């Protein structure tokens, strides 16, 4: 039942898209193609930088602004590196705990096997 509803919906959607395309393709052919000259990435950066400098030349070029910016940037990098270090330490402790438990588990089974061998020898 759900499959039949899904198939009907799919075909209805496809028919709708085809209908729209049939109606709009002639209109799009009449409009034609308008080529727009795209500004490259460096030109865009220069344009934005010029706006910033024109709006506030003292603030942007002042050493105080750059110092504050670099201080904030370095503090964020430091916080990120500390978070990464903390996560690495947590994962390292987790793996150490798993290996320690694995060794204890192996020793436990070795003791049990030795005890069972001793019991078998005694019974004989």
Q: Within the chain, which residues score under 70 in pLDDT?
A: 32-63, 120-124
Looking at the domain assignment, is residue 35 inside a domain?
A: no
What pLDDT sits at residue 53?
Answer: 55
What pLDDT sits at residue 105?
Answer: 72
Looking at the domain assignment, is residue 120 inside a domain?
A: no
Looking at the domain assignment, is residue 83 inside a domain?
A: yes
Q: Domain count of the chain?
A: 2
What pLDDT sits at residue 68?
Answer: 84
DSSP classification of residue 32: -
Q: How distant is the alpha carbon of residue 63 from its chain centre?
A: 35
Looking at the domain assignment, is residue 39 inside a domain?
A: no
- The span from the CA of 104 to the CA of 96, in Å, is 12
Looking at the domain assignment, is residue 18 inside a domain?
A: yes
Which range marks the domain in which residue 70 is found?
60-114
- The span from the CA of 50 to the CA of 42, in Å, is 12
What pLDDT sits at residue 45?
Answer: 66
Residues counted in the chain: 124
Looking at the domain assignment, is residue 65 inside a domain?
A: yes
- The span from the CA of 86 to the CA of 72, in Å, is 21
What pLDDT sits at residue 16?
Answer: 92
């Amino acid at each position: 039942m759900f499959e039949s509803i899904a198939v009907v919906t799919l075909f209805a959607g496809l028919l709708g898209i085809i209908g729209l395309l049939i109606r709009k393709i002639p209109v799009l052919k009449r409009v034609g193609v308008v080529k727009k000259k795209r500004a490259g990435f460096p030109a865009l950066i220069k344009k934005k930088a010029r706006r910033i400098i024109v709006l506030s030349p003292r603030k942007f070029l002042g050493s105080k602004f750059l110092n504050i910016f670099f201080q904030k940037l370095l503090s964020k990098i430091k916080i990120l590196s500390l978070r990464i270090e903390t996560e690495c330490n947590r994962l390292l402790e987790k793996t150490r705990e798993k290996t320690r438990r694995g060794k204890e588990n192996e020793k436990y089974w070795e003791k049990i096997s030795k005890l069972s061998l001793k019991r078998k020898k005694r019974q004989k």
